[in-house]
Structure 1
Amino acid sequence: MKDGKTQKDLAEVLSKYARTVLKNKHVMTEVSSHLAKKHNIKLGRIMYYLNDPARFSEGELSEVALIAEQIFLKLDEAEDLEPKRWFNPIEIKRFRQYKFVSIDDIDKIELPLTFDNAVYLGSGVYQVAVKLTTIARLYKYKLLHYNFNIQREGKFVKGKTEQEIKVYRKNVNEIKKEVLEGELDKTALAYNCAVDTSEDESERELIYDKENHTLTITVGTVIDILDGTHRTMGIYEAYLENPDKVDDEEMITILFSNYIEDKAKKYQVSLAKSTPFNKARAKELAKERLSDELVGRLKDGEGMLKKRIYSTNNVNRSFGQLTSFEVLSDAFDNYWRPEKRSEIKDIVKEFNEYLEYLFDYYEDRVFDDNSLLFSKLFFIGHVIVAKHMYENNISYGLLNEYFDNIDFNKNNQQWQKRGIVNSDNKIRQDKRTIKSIEEYFKNLIKEGVNKHVKH
C-alpha cells in the first residue's frame, strides 16, 4: 500500500459504505456479479465482509481491494475508495489478477477419476492402491453409496419408510482413531461400480488401460460400497476432524468390480466368508507390510531411488536400476523397521536426505560396474549407516568421511576375502554374502562412532 496508508484505514472508509451497498440492490448485484465472474468471489463472501465491516481490516488484502474498487466504480459518492489513492500501479495489477479459491474448491473431487498402477485380477475385478484422503473426499462429496440391495444389513427407523445404514459407532470411532494415529490396518476395501450408471459416451463404468495400467471410473458412475463401510466412514470422519493428521501419502487397497446387483451381492457374500487371519499372524504381516510400504514410497516418490528399485531381484543397471524391492525391504525390516505407520514418512525423508549426499559425493560411481558402493546388496549397508547417523545426530554431510578411504572397487582383494565377490570378481548373491556385507557395515559404524558422534 502507499506510504501512510494501512489496511485498517481502508477498512474504516469501506465501513462507511457497507450499509449503503447492502440497501442498494442494483449496486449490490453489479458488484457481486463482477467479482464472481472475474475473481470467483461469490455473493456469500462479499456479504461476509459487508455484514461485519470490521473484517475488512483483517481479511485477504486482495479481496478487500477488489471490493473497494467495485464500490468506487458502482457508487458515485465513494470517490475516497479510488484504488490509486491506496495502492501503487504494480499492486493494482496484482490484486486484479486475484482469484478466490475456497477450501471446498481445493478439496472437491469429481468423476471421471483415474488411478495409476491398477492391476486386473480377472473376473471383472481390479486392484488399486488409493490414498486415504481420496477415499474421504469421495465419501464427503457423495460419490460413495450404500446399496441396501447388496449389503447384508440395514435398519428401519420408526416413522421413516427408508432404511438407514446400520452403523456400529464403536467400530467407526476405533477406525477413526487408528487413521489419526497412522495405525490403520491395511485390509482391502471393495467397491462396485454399478452397471448401466455411466454417463460417459463409452457407456462403460470402468475403463482399464492395459498398456499404462490405469483404471478410470467414468462420469456418472454410481460407486457402491461392497465391503468396508465402517472403515470408509472411519477414514472420512478422521479426515473431517483433522485433515492435516491424515497422511496424504498413506494408501489402502481397493478392489473395484463392475457387476450387476445380483452378481455384486454374491461377490459381497464371498468377501464376508473369507477366512479370517490369526491375530498374531496379522500383526506380523502388518509389520512386514510397513517395510514394503516404506520401500514403495522410495520407489515411487521424488527421491534418488525413484524408478531405480526393481520389483524382482534381477536388477538391470542399463535400465537405471540399482537395487531390488526385496533387498531394500528386508534391510529396513532388519535394521530400520518402522514400528507404526506414522513413522514411515520420517524414515523415508531421512533416508532420501542421506542418499542425496551419497549420490552427490560419489556421482561418478553410481553406474560404475567396477564399484560396489552402489551395487544391489550394498544398499543394505546404506540403510545401516543412514540409521546410525540419524540416531546419533551425525550430519549426513560427513558421509564422505566414512567412505573416502575405502576402496570399493570389486577388484580389491578384501572383498574376495570377505566372500562378497568370487574368484571372477563377480558379486555373490547368497545369504552368506548378505551376512558379510551386514557385518562389514556394522563394524564400519562401530569404528567411526567415536570420531563422528560429537558432530
Structure 2
Amino acid sequence: MVKEELSSKLSSFLFSNKRNNKMIDYLSNKMGSHGYLPGDIMRIVYDNNESKHLSTVETILISKYLTDGGFTKGEINPTEAFTDQEINVALQYFNDKEEKIKLPLTLDNVLQVGYDEFITTIHIRELHKMNQSGLVTYNFNTQRDAKYKKGSDGSLVKAANVNKKSVNDIAELLLKGNYIADAITLNLLSGTGNDGEEFTFNIKKNEIVIHEGVSIDILDGFHRLNAIEKALTMNPELDVVFPLQIKNYDARKARQFVGQTNTVNVMPKQYVQQLKMDTHEDFIVTELMARSELKDRVSQRGNLSVKTARQITSIKNLTDAISSVFDINTKREARSLLNKLTVYFDELVGLYIEEDIPYEDSIFSINNSMLEIMKHAKEFVDSGEDEIEFDINNILLSEGEERSLGTIERKLRS
C-alpha cells in the first residue's frame, strides 16, 4: 500500500467513525502527547477530503494508534506504507507549528552544477526539522536492498536495511566533534510535483524552491541521517554543517546513482550490479522486480527467504538465466523481451502465490530451476502469443517426483 492510499483510506475510516466517542477520546489522549488539542482531532475526524489535510506525520501517528488500540483490526497499518525510521521519527514529533516545515521550501546558497544537479550546504538542525516534518523519505524503488519483517497483523513489511553499528559510530563522532562532514544526497523525484515541476531555481539569488507534493528521497546518507537524529537527542545544540547534493532524477537514474555510489555500507554485489544497469539483462531484471509478480520474490543477497517473503530465486540466478537463454543486442529488444517476460512471470509466479504452493514442493526448489524455466519462457516469447496459462500441476511436485531439470521441462510443457 502506498502512502497516499493509506492516507485516503485513513481519512475515510475516521469520517465513517466520527460518532465513535470511545475512539475519539482514545485518539485525543494519544495525540495530546504530540501537542494536538481535542479540537484538532475533531477537525481531522470530520474532514473527509481524503489525504488533502492529513500530513505524513498525522497519517503515521493516527493509523498506528488506531491499530494499536484495536479500532481498525489491522486494516490501516502504517507499517504497510512507511519505514521503521519514518514511524520512529513521527513518534518523536511534537506539534510545534512554528518549527514544522512544509512545502514549498526554499534553500539558499545553491549552485547549479548540471542540468538536474545542484549543491549547497545544510545545518544538521535544518535537516533534522525536514526529517521530523516528514519531508525526507526512504524510497525502496531507488534505495539500497530492503529486509523483510512481519507486521503486527502478520503481513509482510519492507524495512530499511540499517547497519546499527554504523549509525552509532557516526553519532559518537558527531557528539565528539570528530566527524568529517561528507555530502548527503537528496533527490527531488521527477514527476512528483503537484504542478508538474519539482523545483524553481533562481540563478540570480542562488536559491531553489522545492514545490508542493515533491517526494524528497534520500539517495545517499540514510545512515548519517539516523545518526544525526540520535546525536541531536543527546545534544540538541550540535553545530555541524553538511554538504548537500540535490538531484532531480527519475527512479531509473536514481537507481543507477545509488549503485554507482555504494562505498561505505556495502550492499550485496549482485544488487549493486543490478542497480547500475550496465547490461540489458540488468535492466530487464530491475524492471521485472519493479512491475511483475517477481516483485519481492527475488533475493538480493543470494539466500532465499522462502517462508517469510516467498522468494523463489536470486538476482544472480535470474540475470544469468536471461543472459544464457536470450541474445539481447539493443534497448529496443530488451524492452520487447521485458514485456513478454512480465506476462510469463505474472502467470507463473502469480499462480504459485495464489495457490499458496509450498516452496519445497514446487519446481522453484530444484537446483538451477530458473535456467530451465527461462528456456520455457523463450518458447513463449518466440511463439508470438500474447498470453500464457499455467495450472497448479505445472508447478507443484508430486510426492516422490524426481527433482531434476528434466522434471521442470516435462511439467511446464504438460
- TM class by shorter chain equals 0.3 to 0.5
Greater Rg, structure 1 or structure 2?
Answer: 1
Please state which structure has a larger fraction of its residues in helix. 1
TM-score (norm 2): 0.39
